[in-house]
Amino acid sequence: MVKRKSASSSDSTDWNYEAKVIEIEAIIAGIKAGELELEEVFEQFAKAVEYLRQCESFLQ
């Protein structure tokens, strides 16, 4: 398991790549299920984009 402190993730001292990927997958599943209100879809999408940016930064 890979753990790394990320400057873009100041809310946690132990940043975990695999955990973020799981969260992104859960967000996508929730959006695909079609059970969210439109506002919540946008909020979840924005969160997923931020997580993806953190993951991309981690991998570089």
pLDDT of residue 13: 62
Contact by Cβ (8 Å): 26, 12: no
Under 8 Å CB-to-CB from 35, ≥6 apart: which residues?
none
> pLDDT above 70 covers what percent of the chain?
78
pLDDT of residue 3: 47
Low-confidence stretches of the chain (pLDDT beneath 50): 1-11
Its pTM surpasses 0.85: no
pLDDT of residue 5: 46
Under 8 Å CB-to-CB from 1, ≥6 apart: which residues?
16, 18
Q: What is the identity of the amino acid at 23?
A: E
Average pLDDT of the chain, as a whole number: 85
